[in-house]
Structure 1
């Protein structure tokens, strides 16, 4: 993928690709913050449906069939793409917001107080 290292892609590349995708289809007029948020919530619901009734599953999903993992990957991708598009439409630099949030979380949950404790 253009602008990425093997196995990774930047949020900036995703943002650009999503903007191009919407523009090519004349979907920009439908991409209001509200509409994108509702679409994002719908996609999160689809991820939830995949896990529904499975109980707790171990890390790496070792008992899942490859087809199930592929479907999960598609739905998680939809969530990420809508989130990136929503942040772009709202004028939020998502990469910077994430880094700032990590710093705030480190202050809120210092290692010496929270190591081996769940938040």
Structure 2
């Protein structure tokens, strides 16, 4: 079995949706809403856990399975969203990291981002 790649997974998701005639429902708005719901379901697993319990969530098979399923749901909707809008998610992430490296230089105190649209004496 070969390792999955982003394009292959996007193709499989599109084929899955097409086989069920779901494309009319896979609008950017609907996919963004579904992504938000699935992210909330992931958060729900951790909602009342202490930081220590949350760090051990993958030690318990049942909770590990729930986390993995919700991660898969979040990723599935994100990849479908990107596919519909033509966003390359890996390129978008790489470019965002590049911008954040400029906004948050090493050694700057936390919470002190450089805002390119604001004038400052820095």
TM beyond 0.5: yes
Higher Cα Rg, which structure: 2
SS of residue matched to 1:38? helix
Q: TM-score, normalised by structure 2?
A: 0.80
Per chain length, whose mean CA-contact separation is higher, i.e. which structure has more relative contact order (CA < 8 Å, sep 6+)? 1
Matched, 1:107 2:102: yes
Distance 2:44 2:58 in 1: 17
Backbone CA RMSD of aligned residues = 2.2
Match of 1:12 in 2: 7
Runs of at least 4 residues off by over 3 Å: 57-60
Distance 2:34 2:12 in 1: 18
Match of 1:31 in 2: 26
Segments of structure 1 that go 5 or more residues without pairing to the other structure are: none
**How do residues 76-91 of structure 1 correspond to structure 2 at under 5 angstroms?**
76-91=71-86
Query: Cα gap change, 1:89/1:10 in structure 2, threshold over 3 Å: closer, same or farther?
Result: same
Q: TM-score, normalised by structure 1?
A: 0.81
**How do residues 16-95 of structure 1 correspond to structure 2 at under 5 angstroms?**
16-57=11-52, 61=56, 64-95=59-90
2:46–2:54 CA contact under 8 A, matched in 1: no
Segments of structure 2 that go 5 or more residues without pairing to the other structure are: 113-122
Aligned residues, how many? 112
Query: Cα gap change, 1:58/1:100 in structure 2, threshold over 3 Å: closer, same or farther?
Result: farther
Query: Cα gap change, 1:66/1:111 in structure 2, threshold over 3 Å: closer, same or farther?
Result: same
